[in-house]
Amino acid sequence: MNPLDPMYLKGLNDGKKQAGSEFESYITEMLSTLTDVPGIGDKTAERITEHFMQGMDN
């Protein structure tokens, strides 16, 4: 398969978009349910979420 083939590149880009969307949904779900984990309260969940979001900005 030729990596410069337009159909190959379209498939590659479509796959990247799909994977990014699924990852975003997964992370959103995990961060929104942190307080369901025993021992993690509101303050700790907030700190974890803030820490994660700061890492995403880099």
How confident is the model over 49-54, as a mean pLDDT?
91
Q: Given this model, what pLDDT does residue 42 score?
A: 96
State how far the alpha carbon of 13 is from the alpha carbons of 4, 7, 27, in Å. 12, 10, 21
Domain boundaries, the chain: 34-58
CB 35 within 8 A of CB 45: yes
pTM assigned to the model: 0.66
Q: Which sign, positive or negative, has the C-alpha torsion 58, 50, 47, 27?
A: negative
- pLDDT tens-place string over residues 1-38: 677 889 999 999 999 999 989 998 999 999 999 999 99
How confident is the model over 46-53, as a mean pLDDT?
93
Q: Given this model, what pLDDT does residue 4 score?
A: 85
The one-letter amino acid at 15: G
